[in-house]
Structure 1
Protein backbone atom coordinates (compact mmCIF):
# COMPACT_ATOMS: atom_id res chain seq x y z
CA UNK A 1 0.00 0.00 0.00
CA UNK A 2 1.40 3.39 -0.98
CA UNK A 3 0.54 5.66 1.94
CA UNK A 4 2.32 8.63 0.33
CA UNK A 5 -0.76 9.30 -1.82
CA UNK A 6 -3.11 9.37 1.18
CA UNK A 7 -4.46 12.59 2.74
CA UNK A 8 -3.16 13.23 6.29
CA UNK A 9 -5.80 14.03 8.89
CA UNK A 10 -5.68 17.52 10.41
CA UNK A 11 -5.35 17.85 14.21
CA UNK A 12 -9.04 18.83 14.35
CA UNK A 13 -9.95 15.50 12.69
CA UNK A 14 -8.18 13.43 15.37
CA UNK A 15 -11.43 12.58 17.17
CA UNK A 16 -12.92 9.31 18.32
CA UNK A 17 -15.67 9.20 15.64
CA UNK A 18 -13.03 9.57 12.90
CA UNK A 19 -10.49 7.14 14.38
CA UNK A 20 -12.73 4.32 15.66
CA UNK A 21 -11.87 0.97 14.06
CA UNK A 22 -9.00 2.49 12.06
CA UNK A 23 -6.34 -0.05 11.14
CA UNK A 24 -2.78 0.71 12.29
CA UNK A 25 0.03 -0.42 9.98
CA UNK A 26 3.63 -0.85 11.05
CA UNK A 27 6.79 -1.18 8.98
CA UNK A 28 6.35 -3.26 5.80
CA UNK A 29 2.57 -2.65 6.02
CA UNK A 30 2.17 -5.26 8.75
CA UNK A 31 -1.16 -4.67 10.50
CA UNK A 32 -0.32 -3.81 14.12
CA UNK A 33 -3.88 -3.46 15.41
CA UNK A 34 -7.16 -1.57 15.34
CA UNK A 35 -8.25 1.57 17.19
CA UNK A 36 -10.66 0.63 20.00
CA UNK A 37 -11.17 4.11 21.46
CA UNK A 38 -9.51 7.40 22.20
CA UNK A 39 -8.52 9.25 25.38
CA UNK A 40 -8.49 12.98 24.67
CA UNK A 41 -8.39 14.30 21.14
CA UNK A 42 -5.91 15.89 18.80
CA UNK A 43 -2.14 15.32 18.85
CA UNK A 44 -2.03 15.19 22.68
CA UNK A 45 -4.50 12.32 22.93
CA UNK A 46 -3.92 8.63 23.39
CA UNK A 47 -5.28 5.95 21.11
CA UNK A 48 -6.24 2.63 22.66
CA UNK A 49 -5.30 -0.02 20.11
CA UNK A 50 -6.34 -3.68 20.16
CA UNK A 51 -3.17 -5.54 19.18
CA UNK A 52 -2.99 -9.14 18.01
CA UNK A 53 -5.76 -11.65 18.29
CA UNK A 54 -8.19 -12.61 15.58
CA UNK A 55 -11.57 -10.90 15.13
CA UNK A 56 -11.14 -9.24 18.50
CA UNK A 57 -10.52 -12.52 20.33
CA UNK A 58 -7.26 -12.71 22.23
CA UNK A 59 -6.32 -9.13 21.47
CA UNK A 60 -4.62 -6.89 24.02
CA UNK A 61 -5.53 -3.19 24.43
CA UNK A 62 -2.50 -0.88 24.61
CA UNK A 63 -2.24 2.92 24.73
CA UNK A 64 -0.24 4.66 22.00
CA UNK A 65 0.20 8.43 21.81
CA UNK A 66 -1.58 10.01 18.86
CA UNK A 67 1.71 11.78 18.09
CA UNK A 68 3.33 8.36 17.39
CA UNK A 69 0.75 7.55 14.73
CA UNK A 70 0.26 9.09 11.31
CA UNK A 71 -3.48 9.09 10.61
CA UNK A 72 -4.63 9.51 7.00
CA UNK A 73 -7.46 8.75 4.58
CA UNK A 74 -7.04 6.56 1.52
CA UNK A 75 -8.66 7.13 -1.87
CA UNK A 76 -11.94 5.62 -0.55
CA UNK A 77 -11.97 7.89 2.51
CA UNK A 78 -11.06 5.06 4.88
CA UNK A 79 -9.09 6.31 7.90
CA UNK A 80 -5.99 4.33 8.89
CA UNK A 81 -2.59 5.05 10.39
CA UNK A 82 1.04 4.16 10.03
CA UNK A 83 3.60 3.86 12.81
CA UNK A 84 7.27 2.96 13.16
CA UNK A 85 6.24 0.44 15.83
CA UNK A 86 6.08 -3.24 14.91
CA UNK A 87 3.31 -5.56 16.09
CA UNK A 88 5.75 -7.21 18.53
CA UNK A 89 6.74 -3.81 19.96
CA UNK A 90 3.07 -2.88 20.38
CA UNK A 91 2.32 -6.24 22.05
CA UNK A 92 5.17 -5.54 24.49
CA UNK A 93 3.49 -2.34 25.74
CA UNK A 94 1.66 -2.59 29.07
CA UNK A 95 -1.97 -3.62 28.83
CA UNK A 96 -4.38 -0.70 29.05
CA UNK A 97 -7.08 -1.09 31.69
CA UNK A 98 -10.29 0.91 31.26
Structure 2
Protein backbone atom coordinates (compact mmCIF):
# COMPACT_ATOMS: atom_id res chain seq x y z
CA UNK A 1 0.00 0.00 0.00
CA UNK A 2 1.37 3.38 -0.98
CA UNK A 3 0.95 5.78 1.95
CA UNK A 4 2.39 8.78 0.09
CA UNK A 5 -0.94 10.60 -0.21
CA UNK A 6 -2.33 9.53 3.15
CA UNK A 7 -2.88 12.20 5.77
CA UNK A 8 -1.57 11.66 9.29
CA UNK A 9 -4.08 12.07 12.10
CA UNK A 10 -3.55 14.84 14.61
CA UNK A 11 -3.35 14.18 18.36
CA UNK A 12 -6.92 15.49 18.69
CA UNK A 13 -8.10 12.81 16.23
CA UNK A 14 -6.58 9.93 18.23
CA UNK A 15 -9.83 9.01 19.93
CA UNK A 16 -12.01 5.91 20.08
CA UNK A 17 -14.68 6.95 17.59
CA UNK A 18 -12.05 7.37 14.86
CA UNK A 19 -9.51 4.64 15.48
CA UNK A 20 -11.41 1.67 16.92
CA UNK A 21 -11.63 -0.94 14.16
CA UNK A 22 -8.76 0.62 12.19
CA UNK A 23 -6.52 -1.91 10.46
CA UNK A 24 -2.93 -2.12 11.72
CA UNK A 25 -0.26 -2.85 9.11
CA UNK A 26 3.34 -3.90 9.63
CA UNK A 27 6.30 -2.18 8.04
CA UNK A 28 6.04 -4.52 5.03
CA UNK A 29 2.34 -3.62 4.65
CA UNK A 30 1.16 -6.98 5.96
CA UNK A 31 -2.13 -6.76 7.83
CA UNK A 32 -1.36 -7.52 11.47
CA UNK A 33 -4.56 -6.75 13.33
CA UNK A 34 -7.20 -4.11 13.94
CA UNK A 35 -7.71 -1.78 16.88
CA UNK A 36 -10.01 -3.38 19.43
CA UNK A 37 -10.29 -0.41 21.79
CA UNK A 38 -8.26 2.39 23.32
CA UNK A 39 -7.67 3.82 26.77
CA UNK A 40 -7.32 7.62 26.74
CA UNK A 41 -6.78 10.04 23.88
CA UNK A 42 -3.86 11.52 21.97
CA UNK A 43 -0.28 10.19 21.92
CA UNK A 44 -0.62 8.83 25.48
CA UNK A 45 -3.61 6.64 24.59
CA UNK A 46 -3.08 2.91 24.86
CA UNK A 47 -4.16 1.17 21.65
CA UNK A 48 -5.31 -2.40 22.36
CA UNK A 49 -5.34 -5.13 19.71
CA UNK A 50 -4.81 -8.88 19.23
CA UNK A 51 -1.77 -10.44 17.56
CA UNK A 52 -1.11 -13.97 16.38
CA UNK A 53 -3.59 -16.77 16.25
CA UNK A 54 -6.14 -17.60 13.60
CA UNK A 55 -9.74 -16.40 13.69
CA UNK A 56 -9.24 -15.25 17.27
CA UNK A 57 -7.92 -18.63 18.48
CA UNK A 58 -4.47 -18.51 20.00
CA UNK A 59 -4.21 -14.74 19.75
CA UNK A 60 -2.75 -12.49 22.40
CA UNK A 61 -4.08 -9.07 23.43
CA UNK A 62 -1.37 -6.40 23.55
CA UNK A 63 -1.23 -2.61 23.81
CA UNK A 64 0.98 0.09 22.34
CA UNK A 65 0.90 3.82 22.94
CA UNK A 66 -0.67 5.72 20.05
CA UNK A 67 2.69 7.46 19.61
CA UNK A 68 4.18 4.05 18.70
CA UNK A 69 1.81 3.75 15.73
CA UNK A 70 1.48 5.98 12.71
CA UNK A 71 -2.26 6.63 12.25
CA UNK A 72 -3.38 8.03 8.90
CA UNK A 73 -6.38 8.44 6.66
CA UNK A 74 -6.34 7.18 3.07
CA UNK A 75 -7.87 8.81 -0.01
CA UNK A 76 -11.26 7.23 0.80
CA UNK A 77 -11.24 8.53 4.38
CA UNK A 78 -10.46 5.14 5.95
CA UNK A 79 -8.25 5.28 9.04
CA UNK A 80 -5.42 2.78 9.46
CA UNK A 81 -2.16 2.52 11.37
CA UNK A 82 1.37 1.36 10.65
CA UNK A 83 3.79 -0.09 13.16
CA UNK A 84 7.51 -0.51 12.66
CA UNK A 85 7.44 -3.59 14.92
CA UNK A 86 7.34 -7.08 13.45
CA UNK A 87 4.61 -9.55 14.31
CA UNK A 88 7.14 -11.52 16.39
CA UNK A 89 8.11 -8.39 18.34
CA UNK A 90 4.44 -7.67 19.00
CA UNK A 91 3.87 -11.26 20.18
CA UNK A 92 6.74 -10.79 22.66
CA UNK A 93 4.98 -7.84 24.33
CA UNK A 94 3.33 -8.47 27.69
CA UNK A 95 -0.30 -9.48 27.50
CA UNK A 96 -2.69 -6.57 28.00
CA UNK A 97 -5.37 -7.13 30.61
CA UNK A 98 -8.17 -4.55 30.95
Q: TM-score, normalised by structure 1?
A: 0.92
Alignment match, 2:5? 5
| CA offset digits 1:11-69 (Å, max 9, x no partner) | 11000110111111111102221111001110111100111233433321101011110
Where structure 2 has 5 or more consecutive residues not aligned to the other structure, the ranges are: none
Computed over aligned residues only, the root mean square deviation of the Cα atoms, in angstroms, reads: 1.2
Alignment of 1:78-89 (within 5 A): 78-89=78-89
Alignment match, 1:24? 24
Give the structure with the larger helix fraction: 1
Moved over 2 A (4+): 52-59
Q: How many residue pairs end up in the alignment?
A: 98
Q: TM-score, normalised by structure 2?
A: 0.92
Where structure 1 has 5 or more consecutive residues not aligned to the other structure, the ranges are: none
